[in-house]
Amino acid sequence: MKCRKCSNKAVINMRHHKLALCGPHFLDWIPDQTQRFIEKYRMFSPDEKILVAVSGGKDSLGLWDVLTRLGYQADGLYIGLGIDAGSGYSAESQRMCEIFAESRGLELIKIDVANVEGASIPQAASLTHRGRGKPCSVCGLTKRHIMNRVARDGGYDVLATGHNLDDEVAVLFGNTLNWAAGYLARQSPVLEFKDGLARKVKPFCRLYERETAAYALVRGIEYIYEECPYAVGATSIYYKETLNRMEADRPGTKLSFYLAFLRAREEGLFAANSYGAGDALHSCIKCGQPTSAPGQCAFCRTWDSVRQRQLVSA
């Protein structure tokens, strides 16, 4: 297979785009596409300060790389979850982020959950019995809170995550199977949050996972291959496998499913389920972050109960 642009040997064939590219042309194509999506969805402008949430994986480090190549001011945020599970997952993912930042002279903010909150994510999950033996519910809640806090305290305009098309389509598929209209209304490449929260953006949302993986590989980015050990058996992985089978039979299925959804959303299909002006959020009385009910937010309630249980069991 030859590169469409120069006839050298192609490193990737993107059947859904009917496009094969060599290494150098593919390394240009990914930032070009990303810039197009940034502009199309009005994610941010060159003078805005971006915080990229990095996990040490190919998507988030690839995104950080692309944003700095495009000339944006982007710092990294690594959240140490304290997940070991025999594989040293958190230690290794942190190491990948550090290597990446140091080799490029970039600013990496590191927040260790156990240091700041007094317990690692698995410890907190087992103390609160939240999430039926899996720490994902405490983890998601905690990551969201810390990202918002760091973005707010650091004066960042935008919070960028490395979600790729496969991630977005798996979420969309799950929400569609359940007709979760509220979630469908909120799934978007850009989340404009009021109440002092940073805007959330996903500049890789139209890139297949295969493409972000190839980018990291061709670009020589060192990243952690393993997924978090708690991701095993997640429904989202089952959806991804199902969608991969559909994509193999009909290239472009995932992209057209996602784009058709965005069009329908744009045309107001879920407008009735969006947050309206009447759904004003409250400020958490403890941390000040927005919350749907008056009083403490879910993060503060969860971590207060973790600390109380630690005292009881001490």
Taking the least distance from each CB to ligand Q46, the nearer of 111 and 228 is 228
- Specify the stretch interacting with ligand Q46 by CB under 6 A; choose among 66-74, 96-104, 133-141, 165-173: 133-141
Cβ count near 179 (within 10 Å): 8
DSSP 8-state symbol, 83 = -
Taking the least distance from each CB to ligand Q46, the nearer of 231 and 280 is 231
Q: Smallest gap, in angstroms, from Cβ of residue 244 to ligand Q46?
A: 19
CB 9 within 8 A of CB 22: yes
Place of tokens 């994509």: 247
- Specify the stretch interacting with ligand Q46 by CB under 6 A; choose among 19-27, 134-142, 214-222, 293-301: 134-142
Q: Is 167 helix (H, G, I), strand (E, B) or coil?
A: helix
> CA–CA separation, 5 vs 22, rounded Å?
8
Instruction: Give the H or E element holding residue 158.
Output: strand 158-160
> CA–CA separation, 33 vs 42, rounded Å?
14
40: closest CA among 257, 203, 269, 211?
203
- Specify the stretch interacting with ligand Q46 by CB under 6 A; choose among 9-17, 183-191, 223-231, 281-289: 223-231
CB 229 within 8 A of CB 89: yes
Q: Which of 61, 111, 139, 284 binds ligand Q46 (CB under 6 A)?
A: 139
The helix-helix angle for 253-266 and 235-249 (nearest 10°) equals: 110
Interface with Zn ion in residues 12-51 (CB under 5 A)? 22, 25
Q: Which of 146, 228, 255, 298 binds ligand Q46 (CB under 6 A)?
A: 228
Q: Which of 29, 230, 258, 303 binds ligand Q46 (CB under 6 A)?
A: 230
**x/- site string to Zn ion, residues 63 to 82, per CB under 5 A?**
--------------------
**Residue 242's binding partner, choosing from Zn ion, ligand Q46, none, with beta-carbon cut-off 5 to 8 A by kind?**
none
Q: Which of 56, 57, 135, 162 binds ligand Q46 (CB under 6 A)?
A: 135
Burial class (CB in 10 A: 0-12, 13-18, 19+), 145: buried
Q: Which of 71, 88, 118, 140 binds ligand Q46 (CB under 6 A)?
A: 140
Burial class (CB in 10 A: 0-12, 13-18, 19+), 114: middle
Where do contacts with Zn ion occur on this chain (CB under 5 A)?
3, 5-6, 8, 22, 25, 284, 286-287, 297, 300
Where do contacts with ligand Q46 occur on this chain (CB under 6 A)?
135-136, 139-140, 228, 230-231
